[in-house]
């Protein structure tokens, strides 16, 4: 009886000692060297494309993006997210509403705003 109890406890201990975890964005864990860096967006370039009916535009992972309807009729956009941790981050909330707050001097230089405007925006978020 004692042997069966010991085997059962041991099996439960082994079963519950295994951990299962996943990384929501495994690409962030790897640093990949590139031979040709000219086509990558490290220089804050603006990529634009006017979409016609049936066109597709793919946003690279981590690239901040926005859409504007330049037409005179309503537009429909269908988005697909390629992560187990799918979601959206509002840039204004992430920048001006961060906790702890980003130094206003940094935001003043980055957005070329008056320091009073940056402090006002940080209070609003």
For the stretch 27-78, pLDDT in tens is 555 555 555 545 555 555 566 778 888 888 777 666 666 677 777 888 877 7
Quote the pTM value. Answer: 0.36
The predicted structure's pLDDT at residue 11: 84
At 78, give phi and psi (nearest 5°).
-115, 125
Return left, alpha or beta for 13; rule: phi > 0 is left, psi -120 to 50 is alpha, else beta: alpha
The predicted structure's pLDDT at residue 99: 78
Are 51 and 57 contacting, i.e. CB atoms less than 8 angstroms apart? yes
Domain ranges of the chain: 90-125
Q: What angle do CA 81, 86, 88 make, to 5 degrees?
A: 90
For the stretch 75-124, pLDDT in tens is 877 777 666 666 666 677 778 887 788 888 888 888 888 999 999 988 88
Binding residues: 65
Binding residues for Mn(2+): 65
Question: Minimal CA–CA distance to 41: which of 27, 55, 61, 57?
Answer: 61
Q: Which has more pLDDT, 24 or 58?
A: 58
**Could you tell me the CA-to-CA distances from 107 to 96, 99, 117 in Å, in that order?**
8, 14, 10
Q: How many CB atoms lie within 10 A of CB 108?
A: 16
């Amino acid at each position: 009886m004692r042997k069966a109890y010991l085997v059962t406890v041991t099996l439960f201990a082994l079963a519950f000692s295994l951990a299962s975890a996943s990384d929501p964005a495994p690409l962030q864990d790897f640093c990949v060297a590139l031979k040709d860096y000219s086509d990558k967006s490290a220089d804050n370039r603006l990529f634009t494309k006017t979409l016609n009916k049936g066109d597709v535009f793919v946003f690279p992972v981590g690239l901040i993006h926005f859409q504007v309807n330049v037409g005179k009729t309503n537009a429909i956009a269908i988005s697909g997210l390629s992560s187990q941790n799918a979601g959206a981050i509002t840039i204004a909330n992430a920048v001006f509403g961060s906790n702890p707050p980003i130094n206003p001097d940094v935001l003043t230089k980055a957005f070329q705003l008056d320091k009073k405007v940056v402090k006002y925006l940080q209070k609003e978020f």
